[in-house]
Amino acid sequence: MRHNVMFAYSLAVFLWASAFPGIRVGLESYGPFHLALLRMLIGSLGLLIFAVVVKMRWPDKRDIPVILLFGFFGFTVYHTLLSVGERTVDAGAASLIVSTTPILSALLAAFFLKERFHQTGWIGSITAFLGVALISLGAGGEIHFEIGALFILIGALGESIYFVFQVPYLQKYGFLPFTTYTILSGTLFMLLFSPGLWTAVQQSSPESTLTVIYLGLLPTVIPYFAIAYATSKHGASEATSSLYLTPVLAIFISWLWLGEVPAILSIIGGAFALIGVSMTTWTTSKHSPLQSKNKGELLR
């Protein structure tokens, strides 16, 4: 059983890490909006097939507006701005910026849900955002501000909103159905980017198209199932804490796949970001009331 959980952790970390360089490859032929839409369309098709096979129930009508809102923030905003940002930000640096999502989530929870945010959490937040600032200055290999880093940070904020306020709906519907609902909802908003998509597909290189198909079928869908399985066995805190290895692996994959060598400032900033995220996550998980819940609750 433990081997199965470790495999689930490893699969999620690898697939999510590979998404960052994969986006860079896709952007060689696709614009960021078409790339994000095509990726989500492919992922949504896979999830629709899954929903039919398992006979997944429809959400309650009164919850549909909220589900649409979650889909917008968690998937439309996040995936679109990540693709826009990665036009100019290296894949490894992008993954480090996204790793601030737990800190943004903790800050949102402290402000809106009145959860306690201890001194260590504030120190960790400041440390992490200092790291993001250094990444923003060093992402292009020179000392200048990179606006793409700001887009990625805003995308991470959208994902954080999704994570913070979804808890009661996860408890109501379960992890897999709710994730399916929100991915489909996020894809609906992205249909605004559909004009010219087919032409882009016809004109793109085979490598870029195959990479986008990979992004849609694997990193967009499979890690959620893997983490859901791990959560059911060991709880959400342990399952998500393993994902802090994602930026490290993303940098390594980017080096092998794209030949991207991170700038010195990005490396220093990444170290600050990871230290800050670790401090904040340790503090929030230690004091979070969610840790007393049953381990399999999110999968009901």
Digit-coded pLDDT (tens) for 41-91: 999 999 999 999 999 999 999 999 999 999 999 999 999 999 999 998 888
Q: How high is the mean pLDDT of the chain?
A: 81
Digit-coded pLDDT (tens) for 179-235: 899 999 999 999 999 999 999 999 999 999 999 999 999 998 888 777 666 655 554
Cα–Cα dist 98/33, whole Å: 19
Half-sphere exposure of 238 (CA within 13 A, CB side): 13
pLDDT at 257 over 70: yes
- Are 147 and 62 in contact, with CB atoms under 8 Å apart? no
If DSSP states are collapsed to H, E and C, what string results for 222-283? HHHHHHHHHHHHHCHHHHHHHHHHHHHHHHHHHHHHHCCCCCHHHHHHHHHHHHHHHHHHHH
Structure confidence at residue 25 as a pLDDT band (50, 70, 90): very high
- Show the tokens assigned to 269: 């900033």
- Are 126 and 276 in contact, with CB atoms under 8 Å apart? yes
pLDDT at 12 over 90: no
- Show the tokens assigned to 202: 């016809």
pTM of the model: 0.82
Listed range (23-27, 41-45, 168-172) with the worst mean pLDDT:
168-172
pLDDT score at 117? 62
- Show the tokens assigned to 132: 């993001």
Task: Name residues whose C-beta falls within 8 Å of residue 289's C-beta, 6 or more positions apart in sequence.
Answer: none
Digit-coded pLDDT (tens) for 210-223: 999 999 999 988 88
Residue ranges covered by each domain of the chain: 2-299
- Show the tokens assigned to 24: 């860079």
